[in-house]
Amino acid sequence: MKTTAEPFAGLSVALVTPFKGEEVDYDCFREQIEFQIAAGTNCLVPVGTTGESPTLNHADHDRVIAFVCETTAGRAKVMPGTGSNSTAEALRLTKNAEKAGADAALQVAPYYNKPTQQGLYEHFKRLAEETGLPQCIYNIPGRTGKNIEPETIARLAELENVVMVKEATGSLDQASAILSTTDLMVLSGDDSLTLPLMSIGAKGVVSVVGNIIPQDMIALIAAFNAGDMAEAMRRHHQLFRLCRDMLGLATNPIPVKAAMKMLGRDSGELRLPMTPLETSQEATLRKTLVEYGLL
């Protein structure tokens, strides 16, 4: 195992970006960061999918990363999303994150332009070689329209700075191929697949539901690591419906922001083209939160 990846095992939380009107609400953001640190979250992941990065302008993107690094002040790892479908833009974002004090960079596969496997390799290779941050390859073909094949990931694993994969293909076979052919750390990119992926060798999760119940995700991971499979499975089944609703009721981060608003921890505001839950979806989400014991 690449030793630079070990500090990122456990719970990473894909932070929402709180908004007030047209601006980022940094007061609310500070409260959310402190909430995660108090809970024992190992790594904070701002400006990813959950952080509505596609709707942040370049200045917002850089400022959010710097703010999370400054506020965290070494009390947790920070792994911001710095990916783009432009290699030059991803490189700029990653270099700025490095200057801000980030500990690693989450690199989503280039989206929309759908490069070849060689193009994907060259993209990530340049980021790994021209910046000093450990790189986590983020494979989510449902968003990007292109799978990073296990053979490409195996080639990337030979690069010193490529140390992790956020695996969000939903395929245990793909994760198994990566784990059996590389020394990369695999992190689940789907909350509901955390336990299944850990059972084949993954070391944690980049979590959406962790925005509201980080302690419960930490407890699931701890139970598995302690060899208490009965408790790990109990936690998995307890969390399942909540995890399903966070990603199934509507496009992420719409449901988790709605849940945080219900819990008094976020305004729930989204930037277009993201729109709020429908009334019937809100009722379903509220029912889930009540049954879980959060409301």
pLDDT at 3: 76
| Tokens read off for 108 | 């989503």
Give the active site residue among 77, 125, 138, 203: 138
Q: Are 61 and 97 in contact (CB under 8 A)?
A: no
Dist. CA 288–CA 295, nearest whole Å: 9
Q: Are 42 and 5 in contact (CB under 8 A)?
A: no
Q: pTM to 2 decimals?
A: 0.96
State whether residue 278 is helix, strand or coil.
Answer: coil
Residue 18: cis peptide before it, omega within 30 degrees of 0: no
114 is catalytic: no
Q: Which amino acid is at 95?
A: K
Give the active site residue among 77, 146, 166, 203: 166
Dist. CA 145–CA 11, nearest whole Å: 27
Check residue 52 and give left, alpha or beta (phi > 0: left; psi -120 to 50: alpha). left
Positions in the chain whose pLDDT score sits under 50 = none
Question: What's the chain's average pLDDT?
Answer: 96
Neighbouring residues of 16: CB distance < 8 A, sequence distance ≥ 6: 32, 50, 51, 52, 211, 253, 256, 257, 260, 266
| Tokens read off for 162 | 């490529």
pLDDT at 247: 85
pLDDT at 176: 98
| Tokens read off for 48 | 């990813």
Antiparallel, parallel or unpaired: β 19-20 and 23-24: antiparallel
pLDDT at 49: 94
Dist. CA 119–CA 156, nearest whole Å: 12
Residue 255: cis peptide before it, omega within 30 degrees of 0: no
Taking the mean position of all CA atoms in its chain, how far away is CA 3?
Answer: 21
Antiparallel, parallel or unpaired: β 135-139 and 105-108: parallel
Dist. CA 37–CA 214, nearest whole Å: 10
pLDDT at 246: 86
Q: Which amino acid is at 286?
A: R
All domains in the chain, ordered by first residue: 3-226 (3.20.20.70)
pLDDT at 217: 98
Taking the mean position of all CA atoms in its chain, how far away is CA 24?
Answer: 19
Q: Are 133 and 127 in contact (CB under 8 A)?
A: no
What are the E-state strand segments in 240-281?
Answer: none
pLDDT at 92: 98
76-120 confidence digits (pLDDT tens): 999 999 999 999 999 999 999 999 999 999 999 999 999 999 999
166 is catalytic: yes
pLDDT at 1: 59
